[in-house]
Amino acid sequence: MPTIGGEPTKMIVMLEVDSEDSWFMTPLDVPSETGLFLDLKPGGSAVPGTVAYRRMAPAPLPDRIHILCRDSEVATVSNVMIVQ
């Protein structure tokens, strides 16, 4: 059972997008020292206008999360933090 102050169990990346379509993100196989790279793709079961990616939290957390769409970076999360 999780406890307050324990290690995080999930890493969740959520975005709002300017689209009425559904989207999903998949990780790209890029060396971890450059951060986490997520590829934004149409489809999936997300609520239109939102997209989320979930996985077990890596240790350590990435310094940056790069969001790509059609091979171009469209967003960067540079303040990755633990929220309890």
Q: What are the residue boundaries of the structural domains of the chain, listed by start?
A: 10-77
- In this predicted structure, the answer to whether residue 5 has a pLDDT above a threshold of 70 is no
Q: Is the dihedral of CA 15, 18, 23, 27 positive or negative?
A: negative
In tens, the pLDDT along 15-39 reads 888 888 889 999 998 877 779 999 9
pLDDT at 57 over 60: yes
**How high is the pLDDT of residue 46?**
74
| Position 1 pLDDT exceeds 60 | no
Q: What is the DSSP letter of 71?
A: T
pLDDT digits (tens, 9 = 90+) for 58-75: 888 888 999 999 999 999
